[in-house]
Amino acid sequence: MKTEYPVQGAGLGYRRCMQDSLADLEPGRVDFLEVAPENWIGLGGRFGKRFREYSERYPFICHGLSLSLGGPTPLDMDFLKQLKRFIAEHQIRAYSEHLSYCSDDGHLYDLMPIPFTEEAVHYVAARIRQVQELLEQKIAIENVSFYAAPSSEMSELEFILAVLDEADCELLLDINNIYVNSVNHRYDPSEFLARMPAERIQYLHVAGHYNEADDLIVDTHGADVVDPVWQLLQQAYRRFGPVPTLLERDFNIPPMAELLSEVDQIRHYQQQWRADHDRTVA
């Protein structure tokens, strides 16, 4: 079981609308925060000042939006240099990106699926290695939700495992995305989870989604986490231990008290695992 992680406990995705409500939290309610660096690099004024205060108060990790690891255009080297400075300036503990692409001679404003092919494995893995060399640290890639798998030669699972191995990078395992894809593409989420390499998992995501139909879920990050995702998170803890876990909420953001109730739920499951583990080894 892996024991070293860049952060610990239960975290929350920090959004600008939280800048005041977060200030009133007592210590220990949130263990770490996550931001998209694109939204904060070079930001000044009161938002920049408050971000500096929080980065000195909380452990931070970064989850990128625009690197487009699977995209056809060259990596944005100017952004990566800015990112490297941002990571150093704010002592960011880790950086992750989506295993997808979002640009082709312009930003697409969505996360597009990479074809699950051997050629794509080599292409994406080479770009991940390039990023890691420039940043001088390993990055984590996130399993993404997708709604079509064009020109696929392998399964989503096989593709993720092949990229992790060839790129020698880490994994941001999104529990909600496993569940969403399992419904949309009809596979067993427990079997998928069981195949994930524990030694590469850096941290976990949980989030809410929208049920478009019985056989179609849209990953929105705009609703509460549902019971099947909580159950899958508990399975992840039973298999991997209490991996650091972050609550994502990007839309329909409720009052801080409601967000904290879900952060507390994460912490409850982590503590429950520890109690069960202690009884087992006693």
Q: What is the pLDDT of residues 25-72, one digit of tens each?
A: 998 999 999 999 999 999 989 899 999 999 999 999 999 988 989 888
> Residue 22 has what DSSP assignment?
G
Q: What is the pLDDT of residues 207-216, one digit of tens each?
A: 998 778 777 8
Tokens in use for 194? 């069981």
Averaged pLDDT of the chain: 92
Q: Considering its fold, how many domains does the chain have in total?
A: 1
Q: What is the pLDDT of residues 68-107, one digit of tens each?
A: 898 888 999 999 999 999 999 999 999 999 998 764 554 4
The stretch 233-249 carries a mean pLDDT of 98
- With respect to residue 2, please indicate whether it lies within any of the assigned structural domains: no
- Return the SS3 of 27: coil
Nearest CA to 124 out of 56, 200, 53, 71 is that of 71
- With respect to residue 63, please indicate whether it lies within any of the assigned structural domains: yes
Longest dimension (CA), the chain: 59
HSE value, Cβ hemisphere, 13 Å, CA-based, for 244: 25
| CATH code of residue 159 | 3.20.20.150
Domain that holds residue 135: 10-281
Q: What is the pLDDT of residues 176-201, one digit of tens each?
A: 999 999 999 999 999 999 999 999 99
Cβ 108 vs Cβ 159: under 8 Å: no
Cβ 163 vs Cβ 121: under 8 Å: yes
Bridge partners, 174 (sequence order): 205
Q: How far apart are CA 36 and CA 246, in angstroms?
A: 13
pLDDT at residue 175 greater than cutoff 60: yes
